[in-house]
Amino acid sequence: MDHLDEFLENPWVNGILGLLAVLVLIILVVLALIYIERKFLARIQMRLGPMRTGPYGLLQSLADAIKLLAKEDLRPARADRWVFELAPYAVFVPGFLAFVAIPFTRNWAVSFLELGLFYVVAVTGLSFVGLLMAGWASDNKYALLGGMRAAAQLISYEIPLVLALVAVSMVAGTLNLREMVEAQGRVPLVVWQPLAFFIFMAAALSELERQPFDIPTAESEVVGGPYIEYSGIRWSMFFLTSYANLFLYSLLGAAVFLGGWDWFLGRDAGPWLQALWMAGKTTFLILVFMWARGTFPRLRIDQLMSLCWKVLLPLAFLQIFLSGLVLVHGWPDWALLLTSGAGLLAAAYIVWAAVRPRPLAVREAVASGSVA
């Protein structure tokens, strides 16, 4: 027994076992998420969703996975072979690496990094490379358009995402994710920093390429974008990644903004209860993302860029500035809420003002002599 304990204490063994556990967790969660998303969207649309594979269609994801694994792996004749084949891994690895630093409960994570938040942001920022590779290597104009869109979008939205997290970490006073959760106390940060939460959610939706920001993969325009030429297992890697990222950002949001495994009645919960709380908050965020997917149309690429650079970025700076002001002067917490809430209202106003009825680029002309 001593030998086994010693073996498990070895940091390499420990790390690899942790990574394996995380990998299994990701795959299980993704299978569940696909099922949940299909059912959830179906209910929004007053349908039933998958019903025929197993009871209530529960085995649908599994069946899909088996089908995808068994499918022929196609590669266009004129594709850039190595880039094309490596792209799915280039997309998957960053998302997977980020899970290393995510704490699931107070005592459970692969590694509690001192700069956890920084690490997560840095690693996920790499994922656009894979999409660009896929888009370029496919030898397809739609894929190229989609890859370019993906690169532009992911790089741009990285910035408001980071800045929103910076604003939060300023208040928490740390970059360690565990300490950030601990620092939130009974009232989660979303209450004090609604503007930062809004920016985080918008940027996360964009990083996830989900409606209303699913521009790189837009089905009705570029027909799947970078994924257009992929099939079988490589395509399922992309799919796996997109749902793993959904899980990742929801976990991050739950930890940073919603108070992680803490809840407002006490902090001495056992590990299972902690895991339950974390799962509950994560699920809530996931459902919000899915809800948005079922409701929104898609923005256009230039509007997406305007939203990022002209709205979210200045507001993120505003949030940082206001938080800094409050922190430097040592004003009470409600000042944080007040300033951030005002910023949120400003965001709402900007969005409203951007599309309110106005004759922009349209010629107001009634036919002379029409029977009006």
Partner 1 sequence: MAVEHDLETMEIPVNMGPQHPSTHGVFRMVLKVDGERVVELVPHIGYLHRGAEKLCENMDYRQGIGIHDRTEYLAPFHAELALVIAVEKLMGLEVPERAEQIRIIMAELNRITSHMMFVGAFSADAGVFGTAFTYAFREREYIQDIFEEVTGDRTMYGYFRPGGLAWDVPDDFVERVRAVLEHTRQGIDDIDNLLTKNEVFMARTRGIGAMSAEEAIDWGLSGPMLRACGVRHDLRKAQPYCIYDRFDFDVPVGQYGDVYDRYLVRLEEMRQSVRIVEQALEGLRDGPIMPKKMRRRLRTPPGEIYQGVEAPRGEYGVYIVSDGTDKPYRMKIRSACFANLMGLRDMVVGHFVADAVVILGSIDMVLGEVDR
Partner 2 sequence: MSSEERLEKFRPGRDGHEARKALRVPPPRGSVFDLFKEALPDVPMEAYQAVKDVVIEVSRGDVIRVLRTAKEDPRLDFRWLRCLSGVDYMDKGLEVVYHLHSYTRNHDVTVKVRCPQGDPRVPSATAVWRGADWYEREAAEMFGLVFEGHPNLVPLLLPEDMTDHHPLRKDNPLAEIEEWQGDRLAGRAEEGAGGEEEG
Partner 3 sequence: MLGILKGLATTLSTMVRKPVTVQYPTVRREIPQRDRGFPVLLWDHETGEPFCTGCHACERACPVECITVTMKDNPLYAQGKSERRKIVDEFWLDYGRCMRCNICVEVCNFKAIAMNNTWMGHELSRFDRADLVLDLGELLAQSKEKKMQAWVPK
Residue (265 or 367) nearer to partner 2, CB = 367
- Is residue 270 part of the contact set for partner 1 (CB under 8 A)? no
Cβ neighbors of 104 (< 8 A, separation 6 or more) are: 251, 275, 278
- Is residue 371 part of the contact set for partner 2 (CB under 8 A)? yes
- Is residue 59 part of the contact set for partner 3 (CB under 8 A)? no
Radius of gyration of the chain (CA): 23
| SS3 call for 326 | helix
- Residue 358 has a CB neighbour count (10 Å cut-off) of 9
Quick note: the x/- pattern for partner 1 over 195-234, rule CB under 8 A, is ----------------xx-xx--xxxxxx-----------
Task: Give CA–CA dist 72/69, Å, rounded.
Answer: 8
User: How many residues are recorded in the chain?
Assistant: 372
- Is residue 141 part of the contact set for partner 3 (CB under 8 A)? no
Answer for which of 1, 4, 46, 328 binds partner 3 (CB under 8 A) is 46
Answer for which of 10, 45, 73, 280 binds partner 3 (CB under 8 A) is 45
- Residue 303 contact, options partner 2, partner 1, partner 3, none, Cβ 5-8 Å cut-off depending on partner type: partner 1
Cβ neighbors of 208 (< 8 A, separation 6 or more) are: 242, 245, 246, 249, 289
Residue (56 or 89) nearer to partner 3, CB = 56
- Is residue 317 part of the contact set for partner 3 (CB under 8 A)? no
Task: Give CA–CA dist 292/329, Å, rounded.
Answer: 38
Cβ neighbors of 265 (< 8 A, separation 6 or more) are: none
| Half-sphere exposure at residue 238, Cβ-oriented, CA atoms within 13 angstroms | 26
- Is residue 232 part of the contact set for partner 3 (CB under 8 A)? no
Residue (365 or 367) nearer to partner 2, CB = 367
Answer for which of 7, 16, 21, 47 binds partner 3 (CB under 8 A) is 47
| SS3 call for 257 | coil
Answer for which of 19, 32, 42, 327 binds partner 3 (CB under 8 A) is 42
Q: Which of residues 13-42 bind partner 1 (CB under 8 A)?
A: 41
Q: Smallest distance, Å, CB 371 to partner 2? A: 6
- Residue 43 contact, options partner 2, partner 1, partner 3, none, Cβ 5-8 Å cut-off depending on partner type: partner 3
Give me 132's structure tokens: 């660009």
Quote the distance between the C-alpha of residue 341 and its chain's center.
23
Axis crossing angle, helix 271-295 with helix 194-208, rounded to the nearest 10:
70
Interacting residues with partner 3 (CB under 8 A): 42-48, 51-52, 291-292, 294-296, 348, 351-352
